[in-house]
A and B are shown apart, each in its own frame.
Chain A
């Protein structure tokens, strides 16, 4: 008996010491996370996962239609005070913007960590394509942040502050200051250039920032920065050399539910498992969902003026409620979020188109106009694929290009930016928001401002 008393504690303590080192079932330690190229490939996916995390105000939920909600053609068939109508009414405050800010920076932090770990891998050659993609993603995510939280360089907004740049792994107590707008766009274009210069990833890779997607986003960033020639060069390369093809009139309407459709250079994948549910654009554009993003009756009527234009079919007239559906929110709605083919809940699950080849054509047209090149040729190229019996025009104006963008890219997160970067005011029911207006820029989350103790300057209202 006595012996047992002495032995027992010793046995238990020895056995239990290992038990004090416990590991989670759904995570691995940072040191062991990326030890192979396969791990690195998963880390690339992980950064997309975080950026498009299934919640409110991410680039796959309301922020995907941010520039539409704030643009001239949006209309709210219903308002239950959700984020979309608050964005549309420019009433988002610094208390509300946290997710838009956080998930992109969290994805960037994961990218920077993965880049550090990738440098330690043995097979650098096999790692290189993923490293190139990580740089391209870092550029894209900074670009998203810059369009939400900083002015567009060509807007003439007196606020010239950029965003906090995250180009490396930071300690958890790091407090960043805002870079200048120029430095912000230098990093964006620089990161995208790293991916382009690698020359890797030229094959189609749906949902991923391949070579062409890096080139595409760089052309947009150059356009936003006023680097017209650079924008034109990138857009031209995409149009001429990439494996993407403009939709035809025949396949235009089918494309919205397709994954990897002909002209989609970059899209965020949405699945039954990973989607933002009711924060998805599809739920906001459903008359039986939140119904907070419709198009204005004027915009609908304008598109219907030319029935030979296939894009007139991309909006729906739901202005009369079907019988037996009193909760139906009547109005005119975009049809670009019909749900991926085979999705369990279509309203939650439509891939977010980040860049389509038609945007490259429109960028080329705009950059050509601004550099004195042949802008009409680009616009004709697009319209031939949209309008039945289209006859080429000889010249185009900036208004033509803006209007073409409204028709082609509505509901895809572009329009308000197009207005503001061209010095135009967004005018819609009750609001006139010029490019120099504080409302064109979201407030940096209050938590960040509070934490920075004066080192992070808020956007003026």
Chain B
């Protein structure tokens, strides 16, 4: 588009001037900064219509007046002017136009100029992703795109993050966006298709961020409706790198760094003397109430059971469980190409150790992308990625089910006795450090090979594009993709391990295989006439998703030495398979008049095997329009201020499918058994009417470029989701705890603002700022059964109530500590304090005490370069306000003595009531506390408001030499520190539902890196 404008401008000026003089023959070349010739560059004599194009060596010859000015331009590069000054040779070195690169946006089933795009989408370069995280694509997006929130509270390397686009699109169905890689819809596998719950594993980690050219987030209906059924949660299109014509470049990049627990204040426990005092007080208080609560022992007797009752030993187990970890990354890539063939090939290796001793994530990946022009009318693209990912770690608490494993990192931490020493006098690890007697020394539990989870994942992603051009205006594209994932998960609990003792060892292998075959055939048409541009496409698509699972396990192992299945005795086997099938027809039309008025429409019809036969098929559509005011004559006076200004609006529908494969079917499960006999039982009630979850999306906004330096985009959206796929709670008396139904409505609204500005653009100093801001609200609009509340989640901690936000916490409300007797108090009725207080948890009334989703989220990036790009500094700050989390680890570490017989308490729990300390934060501890103040209440709801330094990078670019065309050294810090946090002793990064699991906390890293391009 820019090239067109440049040519038009040049032509206009030429008519105005129309001069002639004695001409010279001028020759020269057009190259890029790295010296590669640019073939087909346009060289014009300024103010004339005279122009030529460069040959394959980038050379040109043109006749021009001695005082003429030559203008060289090339698609994707900044045009350059040079006066002839009577010389016979003029060479041009063009710079890549970064603005131009941003201008082409990858969209559904193709790409288009951003100025022609009427929908809402944001694009991030692959470089920006890889600069943040080489481990995982999702972690690299934090703070970079408005309307997108990346939520993860698990610092285990290789764990999954939640990606949330424009609020929460669903209550029960999947809320993850749809991923499309190079036009192929990625595996729709959910976590349960690929793993057992022992340990969180993110499937996005199989993708090497270094292979990515760009990621585009499609947000509104106009952008995403062409993906129809699965687009309700937004779409992320990943485009991998391509070879470039005329260039051969070999690049290496490497990183090495160290990571540790991001928030040093999180998960700190009572020290030795504090612990002894706590045991004594908890024991005495329990004994006074009822000796049975303290097993008939007094506080002194209980404290005497600690490893060192003298109070002289104090071990900080937090530093024993969480240590410093090393991460390394190596990348090698090759890009090459000529007119007919372009190649990109990349190899990558990543190893990220976990901060819990003995855990790691490792990935080997390779990719080859080949694009070849077979004939003028036929192009072929073949892309093949293969990756091997391995992780080793420890069970975590990745599901919300109540309970914390004995052998999980936080489980071991809380049960370790701070009066026990980590090591024996002879230097060996002290085995007996567990206060509960149920676990062991973290070094022995985690750093020995007696208990672990391992995964080995192979993923192959193949795609083949065929592009046939019938005529200038009509073509056919067929995209075939095959995404195969093989995940083997191994569990080993040695006979001597905590979890393995009862089974005399357990070795288990779980093999998950998913295969997704997709094929789309799209007919594309585009034409221009009399200022109008029309493009249209029509196509069909099939997607076949297969999953299979095999389990085999053995127990009764002779010893800890060997864990092959054959060494033990048969423990169990299992296996099953699943299949989901979808077929679709789709089409869209885009029209614009003189790049000024735009209109688009799209349509898609989807049928899915996951839905009931009565409502299996549904239509999804969108309409959108834009008006580029900056092209209007009346804006000519302010054309610098409004260099580009476009307003746009869209409306349309998207859908979402149930996560289950056969949710609508009335079923008898045959997977049961009794004794040695087979057993079948009624496992699912029938609902043939189960249909699509549908969302209606409205989007309005503008894109504004000021003075070619500042880009502003502002959008408002309103996404109304109806017929929610809902796991409607059922009475246990029916035989089911819930059933899948289309019930209820949800409203997501938001305002998104993005600003990018080149504040200073000098040769020796540049400073640019990118800022994004999102205000969002997810509200439950209507509920079934006359709108009555639905209470859900672990222990009924959440509520769906009409007019209230999604993920509202609904819990008893803590009043505080009674300063006279030290007992905790809840309000009997939080809405009516006149009903007084109660000491008993079970008598406390519940109220909405917070919500998980923040109101405001965003990020700020500042980048500065010095001395012609030789040095650069950039830092990214992210922020969020208005959300809360539920602190599940805090439930264990603030038990007011209830767990004193098995667990230590958090360091802040030392401030408990005693007759001397009546103004305490916590009530008096009582062993096996019958009041149960510790149970889920508003006490565990903590604000997640924070401003966090996410990334700081210092870079040094060594000036180019003959051999090395680029050499960069850098130092990067991720999550280095918190600028401000409302809850300083907790890490505020949490999953979307605000449930802080008892997992490894978020990490910070300090990394050195080098990039070399030959």
Contact = CB atoms under 8 A, between A and B. Distances in A.
A50 B672 contact: yes
Nearest to B293: A430
Interface in A198-255: 206-207
A22 B731 contact: no
A91 B927 CA distance: 13
Given A24-B661, A30-B667, A327-B437, A450 B796 contact: yes
Interface string B968-987: 00000000000000000000
Nearest to A288: B501
Nearest to A104: B732
A447 B679 contact: no
Contacts of B667: 24, 27-30, 33
A448 interface: yes
Contacts of B571: 272, 344
Given A5-B523, A12-B583, A345 B503 contact: yes
Interface stretch (A106-114, A151-159, A360-368, A375-383): A106-114
A289 B502 contact: yes
Interface string B497-529: 000011110000000000000010101000000
Given A79-B295, A172-B736, A174-B734, A29 B665 contact: yes
Interface stretch (A163-171, A186-194, A305-313, A410-418): A163-171
Contacts of B675: 45, 206-207, 269, 271, 274
A46, A110, A289 — which one has the most chain B CB atoms within 10 A of its CB?
A46
A175 B731 contact: yes
B471 interface: no
A323 interface: no
B547 to A, nearest CB: 10
A25 B669 CA distance: 9
A5 B998 CA distance: 55
A8 B932 contact: no
A432 to B, nearest CB: 11
A176 B581 contact: no
A21 B609 contact: yes
Contacts of A108: 735
A329 B669 contact: no
Given A27-B667, A42-B680, A22 B438 contact: no
B673 A274 contact: yes
A47 B680 CA distance: 8
B310 interface: no
A445 interface: yes
B682 A113 contact: yes
Interface in B631-668: 661-662, 665-668
Given A30-B667, A89-B930, A453-B788, A45 B733 contact: no
Interface stretch (B247-255, B619-627, B894-902): B894-902
Given A22-B661, A172-B739, A269-B674, A329 B437 contact: yes
B928 A172 contact: no
A399 B291 CA distance: 28
B915 interface: no
B927 to A, nearest CB: 9
Nearest to A10: B540
Nearest to B504: A345
In the complex, which range does the number of interface residues on chain A fall in? 35 or more
Interface residues of B, number: 94
A394 interface: no
Contact of B542 (A12, A101, A273, A446): A12
A446 B796 contact: yes
Contacts of A431: 290, 292
A170 B501 contact: no
B888 interface: no
Nearest to A280: B502
A320 interface: no
B916 interface: no
Contact of B662 (A22, A102, A113, A448): A22
Given A27-B669, A176-B731, A46 B902 contact: no
A22 B609 contact: yes
Which 8 A-B residue pairings sit nearest by Cβ, starting from the closest? A109-B735, A430-B292, A46-B681, A33-B668, A49-B672, A45-B679, A46-B679, A30-B666
21 contacts: A19-B581, A20-B583, A24-B576, A26-B670, A26-B671, A27-B665, A45-B673, A45-B680, A49-B679, A79-B902, A79-B928, A89-B930, A93-B842, A102-B732, A105-B735, A106-B735, A174-B734, A274-B673, A277-B502, A326-B437, A451-B731
Interface of A: 1, 5, 8-9, 12-13, 16-17, 19-31, 33-34, 39, 41-43, 45-50, 52, 76, 78-81, 85, 89, 91, 93-95, 98, 101-102, 105-110, 112-114, 164, 166, 170-176, 206-207, 269, 271-274, 277-278, 283, 286, 288-289, 326-327, 329, 344-345, 347-348, 428-431, 445-448, 450-453, 461
Given A24-B576, A109-B735, 19 more contacts: A12-B583, A13-B540, A24-B578, A29-B666, A29-B668, A48-B679, A49-B674, A52-B674, A80-B438, A89-B292, A93-B841, A110-B682, A172-B736, A174-B733, A176-B731, A273-B572, A288-B502, A446-B791, A446-B795
